[in-house]
Amino acid sequence: MVRAYEEWFAGYAQDPGAILRRTFGETGGYDELVLLRDIPLESVCEHHMAAISGVAHIAYLPRERVVGISKLARLVDALAHRLQIQERLTAEIADAIEAELEPRGVAVVLQASHACMSSRGVRKHGSALVTRAFRGLYTAPGARREVLEALDH
């Protein structure tokens, strides 16, 4: 049990900013959307200490520098392996990317089911909570619509 909890809460020992610190400038002038879809997401809700599981989609519009894509998945893990609420987790992922990469825009969408709702209480199986965070250019309605379409396909 202790080992399981150490793994579920390993994120407290990780610095999300440090994960993104190594960036690459050799992009050959690439300045379009970078999008990583369906990143597995496992977290624990801070209200019930019950499992949250789903997927994360991350998109950003780089400003000269990009980060290795595995780092985006590691960022999700570092922030998810803590006691969380999905709304804050969504915002923290977006904020970490904005702070470290200084991209032109960031969009984060999380889609997850909560064991505290599916296995007790109202016992609603199969429902998913969707949360979204936008930073920079994607706070504008037109650009937001565009990135959400890209995240959907």
Span interacting with Zn ion, options 11-19, 48-56, 59-67, 132-140, rule CB under 5 A: 48-56
Match 């804050």 to its residue by tokens: 88
Binding span for Zn ion by CB under 5 A among 36-44, 47-55, 100-108, 129-137:
47-55
Q: Does 47 bind Zn ion (CB under 5 A)?
A: yes
Task: Tell me how far apart the alpha carbons of residues 52 and 15 are, in angstroms, rounded to a whole number.
Answer: 21
Please name which of 36, 52, 35 lies closest in space to residue 44, comparing C-alpha atoms.
52
124 binds Zn ion (CB under 5 A): no
Beta-bridge mates of residue 110: 56, 131
Q: Please give the residue whose beta carbon sits closest to Zn ion in the complex.
A: 116
Question: Closest approach of Cβ 90 to Zn ion, in Å?
Answer: 15
